[in-house]
Amino acid sequence: MTAVLPVTLLPIGVRGMKVLNRQKFLRKVVVPILKVCDEKVSEVTPICKNYFLKLENFKPIQPLKQDSENSYKIIHLNPERISHWTDIDNSDREVLQKCGITEKDLDSKEIEIMYENFKYDSIFKAVLPENEETVSGFSQIGHIIHLNLREHLLDYKKLIGEVLIDKIKTCSTVVNKNNIIDNTYRNFSMEIIAGEENYIVTVKENNCNFRFDFSKVYWNPRLCKEHERILEYLKPGDILFDVFCGVGPFSIPAAKRKCKVFANDLNPDSFTWLNFNAKQNKVNMKNFKSYNLDGKDFICKMFKDFLVNLCNGTEEIQNESKIHITMNLPAMAVEFLKHFNGLLEDKVFMEKFNYEIIVYVYCFVIGDDPYKDAEKLVKESIGCDINILNTFNVRNVSPKKEMMRVTFKLTKNIIFGLKQESECEPPSKKICVEKELKE
Ligand SMILES: C[S@@+](CC[C@H](N)C(=O)[O-])C[C@H]1O[C@@H](n2cnc3c(N)ncnc32)[C@H](O)[C@@H]1O
Ligand SMILES: *[C@@H]1O[C@H](CO)[C@@H](O)[C@H](O)[C@H]1NC(C)=O
Ligand SMILES: *[C@@H]1O[C@H](CO)[C@@H](O)[C@H](O)[C@H]1NC(C)=O
Ligand SMILES: *[C@@H]1O[C@H](CO)[C@@H](O)[C@H](O)[C@H]1NC(C)=O
């Protein structure tokens, strides 16, 4: 064999390209090939797999066009790994030799590779500025990919968007997130950099379908697992009060699991899509109520009425059923906890009150001990001692900033404002509550 010079398989001559020119990616490259007769192909394939020339839309094993009585295949190998027979591992060479394949069957061939053969990361590596951070860690929500491009990549945004649409079959819109987050509704402004201007997405999570306008409501695919964890605590017949429900990633699957659900969100668009999703997932409407209220009113009216109704017998729940309260608005949720403290004044209900209520409240903390800080924050916010069941680190949001979940029991003492002197802590200044969060 004429030695194949080691080559890179990246596109060349495209560095700095700002307007996508797919023809420019065409290049010729000399690659090693193995000539193998048809009968032996299946035997040697497992060995050759380790050395295959791996490109998009390219078959490493191809028929050899020749008119002899024997027919052959050629196996294309990776020039980044193989330039001599001895680059093939000893043991692999032995197997090949047993099949009658020797050094003389290793040859080289010039092939053409083009845009279609490169993955998006190879393209970005070849086009974008060298030695600088490239496009990384984007997320896909339905047909939308959203990016958070650094300054030095903004000139390339159109190319980046087009490449992603070409290469990711399920993507037809690419947006770049501007750093403007709507602090109330938790949605952020975004700019279309490629594809159709269509923000209505459909995603599947925890066996439910969610449809919503991604430009108007909050959705984070990274919370899927956390939603699932909470859903696992819910049993049929349980009650869920979802104070900041968004388009329903806790509420809709909970209702499907035969919980009685009270779902609330202040954003009218979230409320609209929540109701849409309840219908779309065929939720039993007898067990699903939705509200478009401020969290405070939801707690002080809807949740309170529910407790009163339980106490006076208007509402009933099974003995073993629990009441769960999810509060996923990490930047602010703790500020709503004080409304639980002394929610029921009427002491006549006290005797009857015997319910297990579990609160799952989320917060952001910055610091070296996120567990301790999260617990302290929650205790201070509610204004009395609490029985914490679990403190959990949900995800790292940015260096040193954690999204935490504190799970605690909302006891009779808290609901009736009966804290013992010793349990009382004067509400002091809040630690590490961040309102301007960038996720
Ligand atoms: C972080 S999102 C969580 C949504 C959903 N629970 C989830 O896990 O994806 C917080 C939600 O709280 C809503 N929200 C913000 N302020 C609120 C308030 N004062 N009362 C009720 N909902 C509020 C926002 O519109 C947003 O949908
Ligand atoms: C957030 O969504 C609301 C409607 O729900 C919209 O009016 C607002 O412009 C959006 N905010 C941003 C920053 O895009
Ligand atoms: C229970 O309380 C609710 C209001 O919270 C009231 O509407 C209802 O009539 C009461 N029922 C009884 C039986 O007292
Ligand atoms: C529910 O609790 C009541 C009173 O404590 C008890 O009499 C009844 O047997 C319980 N029912 C079930 C199904 O456990």
pLDDT tens column, 260-273: 999 999 999 999 99
Question: Which ligand is located closest to the Cα atom of residue 318?
Answer: 4
CB pairs under 8 A, 24+ apart, for 150-157? 153/128, 155/18, 156/18, 156/127, 156/128, 157/193
Report the separation in Å between the CA atom of 409 and the middle of ligand 4, taken as the mean of its atom positions: 22
| Residue 241 Cα distances to 169, 186, 265, 349, angstroms | 38, 20, 11, 21
Which residues make up each annotated binding site for S-adenosyl-L-methionine?
227, 265-266, 294-295, 328
Q: Give the largest Cα separation in the chain, rounded.
A: 99
- Whose C-alpha lies nearest to ligand 3, atom 14? 312
State whether the beta carbon of 369 lies less than 6 angstroms from ligand 2: no
Alpha-carbon span 157 to 20, nearest angstrom: 11
Q: Is 189 in the pocket of ligand 2 (CB under 6 A)?
A: yes
Dist. CA 299 → ligand 1 center (Å): 14
Give pLDDT, residue 422.
Answer: 46
Closest atom of ligand 3 relative to the 305 alpha carbon:
5
pLDDT confidence band for 134 (50 / 70 / 90): confident
> What are the residue ranges spanned by the domains of the chain?
22-117, 132-198, 221-438
Q: Mean pLDDT throughout 45-52?
A: 94
Q: For residue range 86-130, what is the model confidence (pLDDT) as tens digits?
A: 999 999 999 999 999 999 999 999 999 999 999 999 999 999 999
Tell me the fold of 132-198: GMP Synthetase; Chain A, domain 3 (3.30.300)
Nearest to 268 by CA among 325, 209, 217, 332: 217
Q: pLDDT of 184-235, one tens digit each?
A: 898 888 999 999 999 999 999 999 999 999 999 999 999 999 999 999 999 9
- pLDDT recorded at residue 136: 77
CATH code matching the domain that covers 22-117, chosen among 3.90.79, 2.60.450, 3.40.720, 3.30.70: 3.30.70
SS3 30: strand
Q: Could you list the residues known to form a binding site, using ranges.
A: 227, 265-266, 294-295, 328
Ligand 3 pocket (Cβ < 6 Å) reads 305, 308-309, 312-314
Confidence of residue 3 (pLDDT cuts 50, 70, 90): low
Which fold is adopted by the domain 221-438? Rossmann fold (3.40.50)
Segment 51-97, tens digit of pLDDT: 999 999 999 999 987 766 778 999 999 999 998 999 999 999 999 99
Is residue 265 within 6 Å of ligand 2 at its C-beta? no
- Give percent of the chain with pLDDT exceeding 70: 93
What is the 354 CA–ligand 4 centroid distance (Å)? 12
What the block records as the tokens of 223 is 């919370």
User: Which of 224, 289, 295 minimizes the C-alpha distance to 251?
Assistant: 289
Which residue has the CA at smallest separation from atom 10 of ligand 2? 216
Q: pLDDT class for 5, splitting at 50, 70, 90?
A: low
Is 279 a residue whose pLDDT tops 50? yes
Q: How far, in Å, from the CA of 92 to the mean position of ligand 2?
A: 60
Report how far residue 115's alpha carbon sits from residue 72's, in angstroms, rounded to the nearest whole number: 29
**336-388 residue pLDDT tens:** 999 999 999 888 888 888 899 999 999 999 989 999 999 999 999 999 889 99
Residues 6+ apart with CB under 8 A from 437: 181, 330, 331, 364, 397, 401
- DSSP symbol at 208: E
What residues have CB less than 8 Å from 286, skipping those under 6 apart? none
Under 8 Å CB-to-CB from 282, ≥6 apart: which residues? none
